[in-house]
């Protein structure tokens, strides 16, 4: 098998504003969550050799880039996002030699490999942090250390430097008896934040990144990279800290204030990212650097991804995947098309003149979109809604990201008891919200976990209908680290691979369109029918070519909305099928829908105007 061929987008066609157009202008990225992708040694965890063994599958799908969630050495407190050694592979996943083999085999197939890098924080087991526990060590200022609040005994409640809470529950400060001070952690207490104000920290990070680039990887996806710069006052004090000139945010119902406003898209983010570009990427070609961007607005995305500013190629923004949440992540509300359209429109409009968008609904931190916003209650509605959201996403302007199993229409785990979950965030949130702060009932919290918990995306890849879904051998000596979804018997790669009507085959069509159609890859984007309740519609245009995209994001019949209907009137009825570029229900069905100006449940269509 070989990867699909991509056309070169003419430099007369603007993509992100660079000249020549970057190689990734019409590429598609596939995210692999290694511990859940393929286990080759029967220990219940996926490994690098497993990824290598499935490269032909990825080549057949047609993806251009594989992004690996972290495989660095780690205590696995947060599933590898707590790195203890940046220049070694965790034995769970294999060896550096296994990584070299993966790179070589992927490159033979025309597939690039980017690694997930976490440099906002490290593991508390990293040698840098262990050294920093000695206040006389050269690493003493590599993390955010602070003394106890005056008048309080260190290590006792209320002695924390300020009232910040961790996003994973509890205080964001952890007392270290050896140093006699507290260290700051936005996430787990085993994930202390690096102090990027210290230039020696940055030098060490860049040296490590260059080591990997020299080894042959093709770039990085950088975890929470827009949180590396913190707001501090003129004396270097954090908000709410004793003597700080900057006031903290109010304390919330769980008993803590949030560090998020002061640690996301901070005052030196642009400076740090530009420095990273110079020190790591400036004289290299063929790479991709993408950053996860908490707190970054669409307008800031334009600035950071504008090639003239030499920072990052693209960012992950999150407003559009928060449209069913209000306040806390765990307070959910029903999905409405208008809210998704509003947020995605802002992202698209912001990069209309410069910069680039990342397109995603699913990843290792998000649930399965087919269960979250689609309908997985029947096989028909599952496949139809999986295709509908796929068409919607891939017809936008930007770079699409496919999360493992998304191309099969994999669903949420549908766990019913807390002991089925493995995710630190979920378990901590349950303890804090239900048992300690008592701000949410057990029933509503379990409902929220079942809908949006991160473990929904982390169940093993469903390769076939065997006992462990082909993720590990049916006779393996250990069960998978997290339960296989029982519906793998029906939803799996083996069943979909040669089925022309499967979700998998539909994804192949979408990826091929991205590779071969300049309008889809780089054409202008314009939202229409902004008041439509069920249908999300927009146009794509490039020169004299124009496409109309309409997607019914509901399980009910929907009328073609007014502006879309007016555009269709310009077509000859006999041309409907010929003019349909792609449809979730097939081109014949799409032609009939266009003729009657009505879309079936979960039907999406892209038609040439």
pLDDT tens-digit series, residues 440-450: 999 999 999 99
pLDDT digits (tens, 9 = 90+) for 470-483: 999 999 889 999 99
Q: Residue 120: which of 11, 14, 233, 264 has the closest Cα?
A: 264
Provide the pairing of β-strand 580-583 with 604-608.
antiparallel
The C-alpha atoms of residue 601 and residue 553 are separated, in whole angstroms, by: 8
Pairing of strands 535-542, 545-552: antiparallel
Residues serving a catalytic function are 223, 292
Question: What are the angstrom distances between the C-alpha of 233 and each of 148, 193, 362, 515?
Answer: 19, 18, 37, 49
* Sequence ranges of the chain with CATH classification 3.90.400.10: 121-193+235-258
List, for residues 491-510, the tens digit of each pLDDT value.
999 999 999 999 999 999 99
CA distance 53 to 51: 5
259-279 per-position pLDDT tens digit: 999 999 999 999 999 999 999
Assign domain 523-608 one CATH number from 2.40.110.20, 1.10.357.10, 2.60.40.1180, 2.70.98.60: 2.60.40.1180
pLDDT in tens, 79-112: 999 999 999 999 999 999 999 999 999 999 999 9
CA gap 46, 38 in Å, rounded: 5
Residues forming CATH 2.60.40.1180 domain(s) in the chain: 523-608
Average pLDDT over every residue of 516-523: 97
Q: What is the CATH number of domain 121-193+235-258?
A: 3.90.400.10
Strand-by-strand arrangement of the 524-528 sheet? 524-528, 535-542, 545-552, 604-608, 580-583
Cβ–Cβ contacts within 10 Å for residue 352, how many?
A: 14
**C-beta of residue 44 within 8 angstroms of C-beta of residue 377:** no
pLDDT at 1 (0 to 100): 41
Q: How far apart are the C-alpha atoms of 470 and 404, rounded to whole Å? A: 14
pLDDT at 3 over 90: no
Helices of type H across 135-268: 199-215, 260-263
- Strands 558-559 and 535-542 turn out to be unpaired
| pLDDT above 50: residue 2 | no
What average pLDDT is seen over the chain?
Answer: 96
Q: Which residue has the tokens 């912001």?
A: 350
- Other Cβ atoms less than 10 A from the Cβ of 467: the count is 16
Q: How many CA atoms lie within 13 A of 596 on its CB side?
A: 11
Distance CA 353, CA 249 (A): 35
């Amino acid at each position: 098998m070989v990867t699909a061929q991509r056309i070169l987008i003419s430099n007369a066609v603007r993509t992100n504003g660079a000249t020549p157009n970057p190689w990734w202008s019409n590429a598609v990225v596939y995210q692999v969550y290694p511990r859940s992708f393929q286990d080759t040694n029967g220990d219940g965890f996926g490994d690098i050799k497993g990824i290598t063994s499935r490269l032909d599958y990825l080549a057949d799908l047609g993806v251009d880039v594989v992004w690996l969630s972290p495989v660095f050495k780690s205590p696995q407190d947060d599933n590898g996002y707590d790195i203890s050694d940046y220049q070694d592979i965790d034995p769970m996943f294999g060896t550096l030699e296994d990584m070299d083999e993966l790179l070589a085999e992927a490159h033979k197939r025309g597939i690039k490999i980017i690694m997930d890098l976490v440099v906002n924080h490290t593991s508390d087991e990293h040698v840098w942090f262990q050294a920093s526990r000695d206040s006389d060590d050269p690493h003493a200022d590599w993390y955010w250390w602070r003394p106890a609040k005056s008048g309080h005994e260190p290590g006792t409640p209320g002695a924390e430097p300020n009232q910040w809470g961790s996003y994973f529950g509890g205080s964001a400060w952890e007392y270290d008896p050896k140093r006699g001070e507290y260290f700051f952690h936005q996430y787990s207490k085993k994930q202390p934040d690096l102090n990027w104000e210290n230039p020696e920290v940055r030098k060490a990070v860049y040296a490590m990144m260059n080591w990997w680039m020299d080894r042959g990887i093709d770039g990085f996806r950088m975890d929470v990279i827009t949180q590396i710069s913190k707001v501090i006052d003129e004396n270097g004090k954090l908000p709410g800290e004793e003597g700080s000139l900057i006031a903290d945010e109010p304390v919330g119902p769980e008993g803590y204030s949030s560090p998020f406003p002061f640690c996301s898209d901070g005052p030196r983010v642009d400076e740090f990212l530009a420095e990273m570009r110079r020190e790591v990427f400036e004289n290299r070609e063929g790479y991709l650097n993408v950053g996860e961007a908490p707190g970054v607005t669409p307008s800031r995305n334009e600035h950071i991804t504008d090639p003239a500013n030499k920072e990052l190629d693209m960012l992950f923004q999150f407003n559009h995947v928060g449209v069913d949440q209000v306040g806390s992540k765990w307070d959910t509300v029903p999905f409405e098309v208008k809210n998704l359209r509003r947020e995605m429109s802002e992202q698209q409009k912001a990069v209309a003149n410069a910069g680039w968008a990342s397109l995603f609904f699913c990843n290792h931190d998000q649930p399965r979109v087919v269960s979250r916003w689609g309908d997985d209650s029947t096989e028909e509605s599952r496949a139809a809604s999986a295709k509908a959201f796929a068409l919607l996403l891939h017809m936008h302007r930007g770079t699409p990201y496919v999360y493992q199993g998304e191309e099969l229409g994999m669903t949420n785990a549908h766990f019913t008891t807390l002991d089925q979950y493995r995710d630190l965030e979920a378990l901590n949130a349950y303890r804090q919200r239900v048992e300690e702060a008592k701000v949410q009932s057990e029933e509503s919290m379990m409902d929220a976990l079942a809908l949006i918990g991160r473990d929904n995306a982390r169940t093993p890849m469903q390769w076939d209908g065997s006992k462990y879904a082909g993720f590990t051998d049916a006779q393996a000596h250990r069960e998978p680290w997290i339960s296989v979804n029982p519906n793998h018997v029906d939803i799996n790669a083996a069943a979909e691979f040669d089925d022309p009507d499967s979700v998998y085959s539909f994804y192949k069509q979408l990826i091929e369109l991205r590779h071969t159609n300049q309008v889809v890859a780089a054409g202008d984007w314009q939202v229409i029918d902004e008041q439509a309740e069920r249908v999300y519609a927009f146009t794509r245009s490039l020169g004299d070519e124009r496409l109309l995209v309409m997607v019914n994001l509901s399980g009910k019949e929907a009328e073609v909305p007014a502006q879309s209907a007016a555009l269709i009137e310009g077509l000859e009825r006999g041309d409907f099928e010929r003019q349909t570029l792609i449809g979730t229900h097939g081109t014949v069905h799409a032609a009939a829908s266009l003729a009657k100006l009505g879309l079936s449940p979960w039907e999406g269509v892209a038609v040439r105007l």
